[in-house]
Structure 1
Amino acid sequence: MRVDQRVRRVAHPPGPPVDAAAPARDGEGSAAAATRRGRLEFLDALRGIAVLTVVVQHIGDYQWIGLLGWSEHWFRLGEFGVLLFFCCSGFIIPASLERRNDLVEFWIGRAFRLWPLYLTVTGVLLAAWERVPRPAGYRPVEDSVVNLTMLQVFSTRPLLIGASWTLGYELVFYLLVSVLFLLGWHRRSTASATVLLICALGLGGATTTYMLQLRPEHWWTQPAAALLLVGLAASRLPSWRLRAATVGMALVVIAALANRPHPAYFTLLVFSCMFVGTVLYRWTAAQTSGRNAAAVFGLALVVIVAAQHTWHHGYTEPLSGETPRWWTEAATFLAAVLVFGAAFLLRHRRWPRPLTYLGAISYSVYLLHALVLIVVPELPGRPWVNFVTLSAITLVGSVLTHHLLEQPAIAFGRRIAAARRTA
């Protein structure tokens, strides 16, 4: 298939929802994954587990300082949930793009999946600006514009929604997958995961955070070299539009990674976890062998421990006074990858409906719980009562936003994509 064909419409019947696209076929020795209403059950179950741990961590931290201290010292429950989300994205996002085989349609789906709810939550916070706690140093106009992009985590400006840092990593992953798709490298997931894991271990402390803004000595050499390599790879594409699109998206990826807030090893491990999910998808689609998938999975476990032990520098959390150790972070990453791997092996089984439903509305739960923690005044009751109350408000609000905002926006995006497909 020529590269330019990958950004044009390919005739096929409408598929399942974007976040639930099932692989077309199963690989060697793998059982078919159970689905419900076109959604992969094991992925929804994992999302349910992920958002549950995030909500318990964040709402619980406000009620029990001991929970915050425990998580900082022993196991980072909220980070575990976030990493589970990343593994799920690594599995399903390439499947979604390749099912469509149309980059524009893919981004239409992503835009109507993510931004309507995100912009609504952001609008509520800005409307309540005078009555809610403000991030230190937040500039209402300039910083609000930055926060609307979802890439604010890759700047030195404050985050309006603290939990939104994960959305920036998701967005960069979508861009990276899109670049690989245009270059025709999207099926080389085993190589991508291996390179990222090796770089996480070998280059974990080699670059400065916020490089583009702090500008240490020779700051420009690494992003310039990366952009040059992308430009050379893109030069073989058949049209200037494809070359411009590839270089443009790669420029955003490079700028974000060069100006990231986290150490290089952490960022590279995050993307490695995503690509581990992609490699497992490749196995189900018979695009790589089970041996390759197992090798990448095993390499990830080894590199997580080695990279955390080599590069981790803990920072004391001010409220609890606890400092995460290298093994705290290693255990968190390992648990996320292992839980994802276990659920993947059990993907042919049915999962409890309450858990899969929670996974289906997990995006609403993720954003709404952050909103509730900001706008709901401090409650005077007992910690357990307050925890249950805030969790209930989050859950009820999430059910409403999922059915009244998320689903209509996704359906509208599909109508736009369908109209484009038939034009």
Structure 2
Amino acid sequence: MSQTDQHVPADGPTAQTGEPTVAARASSLRPGTEAPLADAGPVVRKNRLAALDGLRFLAALSVVLFHFVGQTPGAMEFVWGRPVDTLFPEAHRYFAFGRLGVDLFFLISGFVICMSAWGRSPRDFFISRVTRLYPMYWVAIVVSACAIYLFDTPFGHPNPRVLFANLTMLQTPLGVDNLDSVYWTLWPELCFYLTFSVVVWKGLTYQRVVVFCGLWTVAAVLAPSAGIPLLTLLVNPTSAPFFIAGMAFYLMYRYRPTPLLWGIVAMSWLLALHFLLAPHGGRNNWETWSPWRGWLILSTTVFFLLIAAIALGWTTWIRGRWLTVAGSLTFPLYLLHDVIGVSLLHHFSDRMSPWTLVGVTVGGLVVLSYFVQRFVERPIALAMRRLLSSAEFGLKTPTSRRRP
């Protein structure tokens, strides 16, 4: 699966407003024009997009339930110690679709990263990404490593080299296995941040984001047949359509829908389905999961329609502090659930009924995610932000050390 931002974005889905609000001002802005800074007034974050917070949490929860209930029969037997037919004979095939929650993550990430980066300097963008991703990721690495190396878990004891490579978050280009399988989504997120930072460096405008979407679309189409592994590694063709559509939806939200933006979304939707339904080398491994194609098409279409509803302002009535809190739990829940949850299921599968064990485990993980996010991740992220904000990023030679 980001992630997030991550497929789980750094600042959460907030509507950046000056005066009056972005939604109100959007109708008066023409695509291709930016509101003058003098007219924008101070940037104030008033209304969170609660619907995005809720969708983020539902996407994370769907991935969690997929790993606990909907994995392939062989994986389920490995986790639970008995055939899936004796555990979830009917529910298993439905929860298998939970793996598609990652696609919803990527859609939301394209929307929110574009929104949160608007008006920021490259330095601010870099700091926001680093302090969002790495603190919680390092906490998850430590927790997972302790569980794997100190306790009897079904994950074995990988070479310590895997641990060190994973701490960099660059294990994919290094050719090293993920310490936890869910970490695979972090590389597409990092590539998105890296390439999008070029646009941030130039300054975000409607035109530049549209051009970026077009160039990335072309690269995603050409990469599979180009025979250049590095290009495929950076472009991430199977994930790219979701990020691109998310950015186009944000432009609709910030300005207004146009035929050009709908064209970008439509092309992204078609490419997303192409890579999802591809017989080989696409988004899905048909040897392990082969559902009816119609359900896959419907699921992806629903994801696009949900983000479209938010972009068009149809969900502004959705409010609730609890949705904001739920959205903040998405990243820790996603990173912590696999090793901890699967280990608990593996050890207690013969002591409790399957559904009770799943419910208790999911509930416990949500509570754990809340405390980790509030009392561990947040303080570390704030400390890192203060440190990086005061750091010198230039290449100026430091003053020579005075020697006695």
TM-score tier after normalising by the smaller chain length = 0.7 to 0.9
Residue 137 of structure 2 is matched in structure 1 by 118
Q: How far apart in 2 are the matches of 1:151 and 1:332? A: 31
- Give yes or no for contact 1:204–1:307 (8 Å, CA) kept in 2: no
Tell me the alpha carbon deviations over residues 51-86 of structure 1, each in whole angstroms, 9 at most, x when there is no partner: 121122112235683699989977853332211211
Shift of 1:387: 0.6
Q: Hey, what does 1:315 align to over in structure 2?
A: 285
1:9-408 to 2 correspondences below 5 Å = 18-24=11-17, 25-26=22-23, 27-28=26-27, 39-61=48-70, 62=76, 65=84, 77-100=97-120, 102-128=121-147, 129-133=149-153, 138-140=158-160, 142-183=161-202, 187=206, 188-200=208-220, 202-203=221-222, 205-207=224-226, 222=228, 255=230, 257-259=231-233, 267-286=236-255, 290-309=258-277, 312=280, 315=285, 322-323=289-290, 329-345=296-312, 346-376=314-344, 377-379=346-348, 380=350, 381-408=352-379
In the alignment, is the contact (CA less than 8 A) between 2:279 and 2:286 conserved in 1? no
Structure 2 match to 1:249? none
Q: TM-score under structure 2 normalisation?
A: 0.72
Q: Is the partner of 2:225 in helix, strand or coil? A: coil
Residue by residue over 1:132-176, the C-alpha shift from the partner in whole angstroms, topping out at 9 and shown as x without a partner, is 447579321x21121112232344322111111112211111111
Given the superposition, is the C-alpha separation of residues 182 and 106 from structure 1 closer, same or farther in structure 2, using an over 3 Å criterion?
Answer: closer
- Gaps of at least 5 residues in structure 2 are 1-9, 30-43, 71-75, 393-404
Separation in 1, partners of 2:118, 2:353: 50
The AA in structure 1 aligned to 2:192 is: F
1:41 Cα deviation from its structure 2 partner: 1.4
SS for the counterpart of 1:80 is helix
Alignment partner, residue 238 of structure 1: none
- Taking the aligned partners of 1:122 and 1:303, their CA distance within structure 2 comes to 34
Q: Using the alignment, how far apart are the partners of 1:207 and 1:411 within structure 2?
A: 43
Q: Tell me if structure 1 keeps the 8 A contact 2:50–2:323.
A: no
Alpha-carbon distance change, 170 to 298 in structure 1, aligned in 2, over 3 angstroms:
same
CA, structure 1 residues 415+40, in 2 after alignment: closer, same or farther (shift >3 Å)? farther
In the alignment, the residues of structure 1 paired with residue 297 and residue 250 of structure 2 have an alpha-carbon distance, to the nearest angstrom, of 24
Letter in 2 for 1:315: N
CA shift at 1:95, angstroms? 2.5
Residue 359 to residue 46, structure 1, CA distance change in 2 (3 Å): same
Letter in 2 for 1:174: Y
User: Taking every aligned residue pair, what percent have the same amino acid on both sides?
Assistant: 24
The one-letter code sitting in structure 1 at the alignment partner of 2:240 is: F
Q: Quote the Cα distance in structure 2 between the aligned partners of 1:417 and 1:18.
A: 17
CA RMSD of aligned residues (A): 3.6
Question: Alpha-carbon deviation of 1:21?
Answer: 4.2
**Using a 3 Å threshold, how does the CA distance of structure 1 residues 284 and 259 change in structure 2: closer, same or farther?**
closer
Which stretch has the larger CA shift, 127-136 or 60-69?
60-69
Deviations 1:242-288 (A, max 9, x none): xxxxxxxxxxxxx4x5447xxx8xx32412211211122223333x7
The question of whether the paired residues in 2 share the 8 Å contact of 1:198 and 1:303 is answered with no
Are the counterparts in 2 of residues 312 and 326 from structure 1 also a CA contact under 8 Å? no
Q: Is the 8 A contact 1:72 1:324 kept in 2?
A: no
The amino acid that maps onto 1:338 is L
> Which one is further off, 170-179 or 367-376?
367-376
- Kept after mapping to 1: 8 A contact 2:110/2:247: yes
Matched AA of 1:359? G
Is there any run of 5+ residues in structure 1 with no aligned partner, and where? Answer: 1-16, 209-221, 224-254
Corresponding position of 2:3: none
Q: Which gives a bigger RCO, structure 1 or 2 (Cα 8 Å, sep 6+)? A: 1
For residues 279 and 166 of structure 1, do their structure 2 counterparts lie closer, same or farther at Cα, with a shift above 3 Å needed? same
Note if contact 1:59-1:391 (Cα within 8 Å) is conserved in structure 2: no
Contact 1:83 1:270 survives alignment (8 Å): yes
CA-CA distance at 1:339 after TM superposition: 2.2
User: What TM-score, normalized by structure 1, do the two folds share?
Assistant: 0.69
Counterpart secondary structure, 1:22: strand
Kindly provide the amino acid, as one letter, of the partner of residue 86 in structure 1: F
Aligned mates of 1:119, 1:204 — CA distance in 2: 32
